Amino acid sequence: MGLSRWVNLWGIGACVFVVGSANAQVVDVPEPTFRVSFEETALPDYAAGVKEHPSLKTDGLRYLAGKTGKGVLLGACAPLVYQATGNVPAEATITFWVKPLDWQKIAKWRYLLVLSPRGRAIMYLAQYPKKDPVLQFLWTPVYSPGHETTDSPLKVNEWNHVAVAWDAIRSRVYFNGELVLSKQHPSGFQPSIPPRATLQLGGLEAGVSSGGSYQNDPWGQADTALDELTAYPGALDAEQIAQLAGRQEIVRAIAGPPAQPARLQVPKRATPPTLDGHLVEGEW
């Protein structure tokens, strides 16, 4: 697979290359552990762990054109609640496509993604009430208001690729392949996914995300399209996430110069140039 362009930086001994969309280099991405494509159903296409999802309510769900095929419409239906045990590893990456539909500044939180390991621990990605479509993120052992804001907002009325990746040390959030938040876990905390942990779309706060509350409408407006929910083992790196997001260009540095660097071919003159300060025909 050829490279679209080489740039030789001999002065600093480094080489950078740009890979265009026509010949982008494919990077390896691990097989998913969980996937829901929402092709007229909210049931998982694949689940490596728990297969039964007793809190998943699918009656009355609305589907619409998704990023690929169909997607699901959130906001005026009960949260979609999946069992996370075995489906979301302790260190993992969760990705999905989301399209905010003319989001208005409403008085309720829009909880797009909530991971509840039970107890007071929680991970969520949500839109703050009455704010622009930046998102708030938190992954903590004790539910608290210590959420942080993404550097940039979602694009309204467009499909956005969202990825949340975490390991034992920190979490990272990406919008459309770009890092928008990086947050270290609280001291001594390592995420874990115990039995009965749940993964929710259109979820509710940790204090009410159980039992009968799963029947409640999250924020009361059908204004959020979502598609292709997927969980991967381990915290994927920036290059893997950029590939999943369909980025058109990837830029990265390599260790040394190319094996056969491109050279500029300059024709030689038959006679030496004049040195009187004036150019004659053929001199440059």
> What's the mean pLDDT in 76-88?
93
In the prediction, which pLDDT does 219 show? 86
In the prediction, which pLDDT does 252 show? 44
φ and ψ at 140, to 5 degrees? -145, 150
Q: Which residue has the higher pLDDT, 185 or 203?
A: 185
- Asked if pLDDT for residue 18 goes beyond 50, the answer is no
Q: List pLDDT tens digits, range 199-250.
A: 999 876 544 444 555 556 678 889 999 999 999 999 999 999 999 999 854 4
> What's the mean pLDDT in 166-191?
93
Token pair 């552990």 is found at 33
In the prediction, which pLDDT does 42 show? 97
In the prediction, which pLDDT does 143 show? 61
Q: Which residue has the higher pLDDT, 157 or 119?
A: 157
> What's the mean pLDDT in 23-44?
91
Average pLDDT in the chain? 80
DSSP letters spanning the chain = ---SEEEEETTTTEEEEEE-GGGPPP---PPPSEEE--SS--S-SEESS----TT---TT-EEEE-SSSEEEEESSSPPEEEE-TTTS-SSEEEEEEEEE-S----SS-EEEEEEE-STT-EEEEEEPTTS-S--EEEEESS--S--EE-SSPPPTTS-EEEEEEE-SSEEEEEETTEEEEEEEPPTT------TT-EEEES---GGG-SGGGGGS-SSS---EEEEEEEEEES---HHHHHHHTT-S-EEEEESS--SS------PPPSSPPP-SS-PPTT--
In the prediction, which pLDDT does 54 show? 93
> What's the mean pLDDT in 256-283?
56
